[in-house]
């Protein structure tokens, strides 16, 4: 009887361990998790002009990885809305993060050539939520989880 109770106990522990593990994380789920571990805040913007007068939007960001795993780059969406809420720009920009360690933040700039910020413009920078797998596969950071 005692031996049978031990077998039942071992079987129950095994069942709890196996059901507690759950399904394995897919590369798409891993990338989404790693992306959302980052905090991004715009801290300043300006428009630069080259010698020919061509504009470049310069956005200074505070970037911090609040997770435990690094990404070598991170793609964010920069949006600019003008007067009346009219969207003037919606462009993905990839931030290089090769030397950003988890738990550490830094200031990083991104540049968008050919765009000048107007006085009344409102700029936001966001990590796009719930991107479908085909879009995640197109992001430069996909190589960090896909092994490419």
Q: What is the pTM of this model?
A: 0.80
Q: Domain for residue 84, yes or no?
A: yes
Q: What is the pLDDT of residues 28-65, one digit of tens each?
A: 999 999 999 999 999 999 999 999 999 999 999 999 99
Q: Give the other-Cβ count within 10 Å of 139's Cβ.
A: 18
Please give the pLDDT value at position 136.
Answer: 95
Q: Domain for residue 127, yes or no?
A: yes
Q: Give the other-Cβ count within 10 Å of 63's Cβ.
A: 20
Determine the Cα–Cα distance for residues 75 and 128; give it in Å rounded to an integer.
9
Can you give the CATH number for the domain in which 131 is found? 2.60.40
Chain center to CA of 66 = 11
Between 1 and 129, the higher pLDDT residue: 129
Total structural domains within the chain: 1
Q: What is the pLDDT of residues 74-94, one digit of tens each?
A: 999 999 999 889 999 999 999
The continuous run of DSSP H or E covering 19 comes out as: helix 2-21
Residue 98 near residue 108, CB atoms below 8 Å: no
* Domain encompassing residue 111: 26-146
């Amino acid at each position: 009887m005692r031996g049978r109770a031990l077998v039942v106990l071992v079987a129950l522990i095994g069942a709890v361990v196996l059901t507690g593990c759950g399904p394995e994380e897919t590369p798409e789920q891993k990338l989404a998790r790693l992306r959302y571990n980052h905090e991004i805040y715009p801290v300043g913007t300006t428009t630069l002009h080259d010698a020919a007068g061509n504009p470049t939007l310069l956005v200074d960001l505070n970037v911090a990885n609040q997770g435990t795993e690094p990404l070598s780059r991170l793609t964010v969406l920069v949006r600019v809305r003008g007067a009346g809420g009219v969207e003037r720009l919606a462009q993905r920009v990839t931030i290089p993060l090769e030397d950003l360690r988890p738990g550490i933040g830094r200031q990083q700039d991104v540049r968008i050539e050919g765009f000048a910020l107007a006085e009344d413009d409102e700029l936001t920078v966001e990590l796009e939520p719930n991107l479908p797998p085909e879009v995640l596969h197109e992001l430069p950071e996909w190589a960090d989880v896909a092994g490419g």
